[in-house]
Amino acid sequence: MLTPTKISRPKPYLLAVEWSDGKQTTITLRTFRDECPCASCKGETIMGTTYSFGMQVMKPGKYDLVSIQTVGNYAIQADWKDGHNTGLYSWDILRRITEEFDLSPTQIEELEHQAAAEGLL
């Protein structure tokens, strides 16, 4: 089973994950939050239909990550500044998200320029 060997934040807005197979992935915190797998963010699948109970209102601090905790040996839990902390990212969910949204070096560079322009660095 693939497990993360290192989880870090190379930039305040980036999450980098290194995997036991040597793969290195980097996604934005925005993606990380948008892909939150909890029931209120993703909706619950009932008989094959997905219902979303999540509030779509943008709260301040939604994309500010306060901390990440390891849960047992199988997942991480993210604690967001808007108070949201029910998202449990199991290793296979995390792997899927980081593979799907993995940023290229060019994209990371563009984000850096963007962040610098917005005074976020």
* 97 part of the interface to Zn ion, by CB under 5 A: no
CB of 103 to Zn ion, least distance (A): 22
82 token code pair: 């808007």
Residue from 7, 41, 88, 115 that binds Zn ion (CB under 5 A)?
41
Residue 53 to residue 46: CA distance in whole angstroms: 12
* 17 part of the interface to Zn ion, by CB under 5 A: no
73 token code pair: 């040996």
Q: Is there a contact between 85 and 75 (Cβ–Cβ < 8 Å)?
A: no
# residues near Zn ion by CB under 5 A: 4
Residue 65 to residue 32: CA distance in whole angstroms: 10
Residue 18 or 54 having the CB closest to Zn ion: 54
Residue 7 or 41 having the CB closest to Zn ion: 41
Residue 118 to residue 9: CA distance in whole angstroms: 19
Q: Which segment (45-53, 64-72, 82-90, 104-112) binds Zn ion by CB under 5 A?
A: 82-90
Residue 116 to residue 105: CA distance in whole angstroms: 16
CB of 38 to Zn ion, least distance (A): 3
Q: Which residues bind Zn ion (CB under 5 A)?
A: 36, 38, 41, 87
